[in-house]
């Protein structure tokens, strides 16, 4: 089985309407090119001051999720709504949650980011994601007509045990929607994405934000789609746009048959 997948690159702001409109523009562009699966980056709906995160959170059935479901249904595509801030009743925090919609518009799966980004970087960026966001706990792989899809978000990329767990659950492709910092991305984004693809023998689809946000840190861009041999088969270095690549499960099966490392595990 072969199909075309797409990853959207954009720079979100604290203007939800503008962000949704831009996301929709690129989703339609990707579908017009024949993509059956489109993925958006992390926090594509809203990205602004930490103090306003809680008021910007929504339920999964809220207006942003509903709009993504309508688009998936209208265009007949699988749509990964990279992530949005999910409201937690009676809490001052929100989950960072990724949503996967079927071509029917049905919400197939949701994933709450497990690993939160609390760092003090050498370039002066200091972040405490856990100050305003809550930890997720569930590993998510969902079966679809386009294979078994594993869900992760951004900082999760640094934790190989999560991706091995997704592989153990049968993931054929894995999403890594991100707003990856420019400072760390220059050194680590590509090698980590390629490593996760190689060691788990999966396709990796990684839509990222790019550039400097006026109310947040600078992000790396370089959205990528990586094949199970670790080859970058699509990349957008900078600027807004959409990339596409063919996902070929016959090739995936060939890689796994010729180098059956997953079945050789001893630990």
- 113 belongs to the catalytic site: yes
Known catalytic residue at 42? yes
Q: Is beta strand 133-134 parallel, antiparallel or unpaired with respect to 94-101?
A: parallel
Active site residue 92: no
Is residue 53 within 8 A of residue 215, CB to CB? The reply is no
List the catalytic residue out of 42, 53, 86, 129.
Answer: 42
All residues at 6 or more sequence positions from 55 whose CB lies less than 8 Å from its CB, including other chains:
none
Q: How far apart are CA 41 and CA 137, in angstroms?
A: 21
Q: Which run of H or E residues covers position 30?
A: helix 16-32
Strand 223-226 and strand 232-236: the pairing is antiparallel
> What is the arrangement of strands in the sheet containing 147-151, beginning at the earlier edge strand?
140-144, 147-151, 173-175, 203-206, 223-226, 232-236
Catalytic residue among 22, 58, 129, 154: 154
Query: Which position among 58, 87, 113, 129 bears the catalytic label?
Result: 113
Enter the tokens of residue 228: 């199970």
- The catalytic residue positions are 42, 113, 154
């Amino acid at each position: 089985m072969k199909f075309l997948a797409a990853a959207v690159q954009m720079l979100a702001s604290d203007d939800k309407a503008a962000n949704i409109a831009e996301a929709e523009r690129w989703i339609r562009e990707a579908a017009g090119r024949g993509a059956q699966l489109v993925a958006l980056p992390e926090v594509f709906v809203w990205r602004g001051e930490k103090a306003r995160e809680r008021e910007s959170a929504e339920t999964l059935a809220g207006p942003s999720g509903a709009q993504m479901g309508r688009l998936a249904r209208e265009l007949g595509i699988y749509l990964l709504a990279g992530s949005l801030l999910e409201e937690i009743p009676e809490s001052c925090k929100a989950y960072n949650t990724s949503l996967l919609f079927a071509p029917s518009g049905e919400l197939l799966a949701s994933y709450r980011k497990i690993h939160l980004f609390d760092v003090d970087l050498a370039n002066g960026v200091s972040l405490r994601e856990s100050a305003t966001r809550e930890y997720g706990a569930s590993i998510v792989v969902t079966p679809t007509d386009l294979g078994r899809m594993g869900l992760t978000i951004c900082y999760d990329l640094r934790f190989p045990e999560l991706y091995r767990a997704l592989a153990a659950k049968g993931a054929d492709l894995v999403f890594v929607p991100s707003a990856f910092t420019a400072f760390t991305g220059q050194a680590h984004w590509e090698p980590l994405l390629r490593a996760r693809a190689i060691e788990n023998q999966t396709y990796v689809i990684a839509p990222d934000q790019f550039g400097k946000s006026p109310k947040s840190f600078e992000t790396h861009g370089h959205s990528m789609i990586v094949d199970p041999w670790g080859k970058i088969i699509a990349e957008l270095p900078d600027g807004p746009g959409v990339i596409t690549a063919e996902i070929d499960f016959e090739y995936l099966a060939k890689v796994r048959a010729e180098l059956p490392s997953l079945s050789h595990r001893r630990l």
